[in-house]
């Protein structure tokens, strides 16, 4: 799923290692919650041969709106994430409400 040297910059601006991100994903799998997130506005752009930038927005109802960017690389084993970054671009007061940025 990720390259061995993968890293991420979260909405807080903190840098997270591959090990931290994978452990956090595993922890979240153990918690049985239903997230009603929406992810509109997907765009994909080729950066180089077999390397693509995927951007989208993540809407977390009653929480926040974040813009996300992920760099993917096609390898012999399949698609792998090289880098991911998100930043907070607004807060959601309630579903369907106006955003504050």
The whole-number pLDDT of residue 94 equals 52
Write out the two tokens for 40: 């509109």
Q: What is the pLDDT along the chain (101 residues), one digit of tens a residue?
A: 899 999 999 988 899 999 999 999 888 888 877 778 889 999 999 999 999 999 999 998 777 888 999 999 999 999 999 999 998 876 655 544 444 44
The whole-number pLDDT of residue 38 equals 87
**Count of domains for the chain:** 1
| DSSP string across the chain | -EEEEEEEE-TTS-EEEHHHHHHHHHHHHHS------B----EEEEEETTEEEEEEEEEETTTEEEEEEEEEEEETTEEEEEEEEEEEEEEESSTT-PEE-
Is the residue at 99 inside a domain?
A: no
The whole-number pLDDT of residue 98 equals 45
The whole-number pLDDT of residue 51 equals 98
Q: Which domain holds residue 60?
A: 2-26+37-92
Is the residue at 98 inside a domain?
A: no
């Amino acid at each position: 799923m990720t390259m061995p040297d993968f890293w991420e910059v979260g909405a807080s601006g903190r840098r997270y290692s591959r090990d931290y991100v994978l452990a956090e994903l595993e922890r979240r799998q153990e918690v049985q919650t239903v997230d009603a997130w929406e992810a509109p506005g997907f765009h994909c752009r080729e950066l180089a041969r077999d390397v693509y930038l995927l951007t989208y927005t993540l809407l977390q109802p009653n929480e926040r709106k974040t813009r996300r960017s992920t760099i993917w690389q096609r390898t012999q084993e399949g698609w792998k994430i090289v880098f991911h970054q998100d930043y907070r671009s607004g807060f959601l007061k309630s579903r369907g409400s106006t955003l504050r940025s």
